[in-house]
Amino acid sequence: MSPERVVGTLTKGYESIMSAATPANRAALAMFVVAEVHPFTDGNGRTARVAMNHFLTQAGLTRIIVPTVFRDDYISALKALSSNAHPVPLVRMLACVARFSRWLNMTSMTNCFAALTQSNAMQRPEGCSAHL
């Protein structure tokens, strides 16, 4: 996207986000808008997920962590929506990682990292299957 269109596109995107019917829809739209507009030279994915988690947290819902092992699936789902307006893969992906995020034991950093290790969540996608 050309730099001169970023602010206007983000403004319109924000209007769409705020008109979404549910907090989960607002969260998913926020993530998608930031990822699609790509307003920064670096950190767009992280910023997109922070925006998503802002809306989830605001609604009292579980924040979503996208494990490294699911990175390729996450990128493919974003591309499916971006390239041909096919939202189902992203909806399924977010539902999957939301279940994973609820499963994580967040009572301490030690417990969380043990669960991440047990599930292979921090492994590269090639040749690894995550335990959910």
The catalytic residue positions are: 38
What is the secondary structure of 55-109 as a DSSP string?
HHHHTTPPP----GGGHHHHHHHHHHHHHH---HHHHHHHHHHHHHHHHS--SSH
Amino acid at 63: R
CA-wise closest residue to 58 among 96, 13, 20, 99: 20
Give me the amino acid identity at 121.
A
Instruction: With beta carbons less than 8 A apart as the criterion, state whether 10 and 37 touch.
Output: yes
